[in-house]
Amino acid sequence: MLARIWLPLLGLASFASAQNAALAAREKFTYSIEWRLITAGRLHLERLQAGASSQINFRMESAGLVSKLFKVADDYSANFNRDGCVESTTLVSEEGSRRRDTRIIFDGARHKASYVERDRNKNITLQSHEIDTQPCVRDVAGALFYLRTLNMEPGQSINVAVSDGKKSVVAKVEAQKREDVKTPEGVFHTIRYEAYLFDGVLYKRSAHLNIWLTDDRRKLPVQIRVRMQFAIGTISLLLEKHE
């Protein structure tokens, strides 16, 4: 369950596209993860462009008090074709005593996604199924990072085909307003976006997902935030370092 909450936050830098020449062939991002005013963990992410294809790899680890109460270590990778359509994703998660592997293969020609989730402790398959998808879909991370290839002004919106292997939807992403965001790397002029993935769209849980991209050609994702109900609260990613 925890990985389902983290994932919309974790992958903003996961999609490489030739549409925006400002995107480097290789980028590294480090984010602090904050929850209830404490540092709950860190995310280390690398995006690679190799010819017409691209790949991202990231590792998210809990820290401090959160790690003592419930240790989390998640490794995620995704592969994309030249059009930015996701071809496969892998999530290896360790959350408390639970150890899971989740692998998804996307077949654009057949308009299908094959999902397999295994329990590594018991060495058993927990879920295995196939769903219908659009010919070209993005994983949650890739759909969000797609924003970096666009030039949207506040008030504009787009619809993106998104799948997590369990469900395939068309989700709205809206540019809302310009805001300044302070990070350990400095103050950035940004545009705030909202991705409508919760409230029964891709996830049943009620929440708001906002992304702040710098208002320049780089469109760096400097802040990502999920605001949930009071019992969970707000989870934020804040950019610490970009290479």
- Residue of 52, 13, 39 lying closest to 243 (CA atoms): 13
Most confident of 36-40, 43-47, 168-172: 168-172
pLDDT of residue 7: 52
Average pLDDT over residues 28-32: 94
Residue 103 DSSP class? E
pLDDT of residue 36: 82
Structure tokens at 45: 């992410």
pLDDT of residue 43: 94
Average pLDDT over residues 83-87: 92
Q: For residues 95 and 73, what is the distance between their CA atoms, to the nearest angstrom?
A: 7
pLDDT of residue 23: 65
Q: What is the mean pLDDT of the chain?
A: 88
Domain span at residue 93 reads 2-242
DSSP 119-186: ETTTTEEEEEEEEE--SS-B-HHHHHHGGGG----TT-EEEEEEE-SS-EEEEEEEEEEEEEEEETTE
pLDDT of residue 215: 97
- Total domains present in the chain: 1
pLDDT in tens, 202-212: 999 999 999 99
**The pTM is what?**
0.88
pLDDT in tens, 105-150: 999 999 999 999 999 999 999 999 999 999 999 998 777 777 888 9
CA distances from 170 to 19, 109, 128, 133, 231 (A): 21, 19, 23, 10, 28
- 56-63 contacts at long range (C-beta below 8 A, 24 or more positions apart): 56/11, 56/13, 56/14, 56/15, 56/16, 56/141, 58/10, 58/11, 58/13, 58/14, 60/6, 60/10, 60/33, 63/33, 63/39
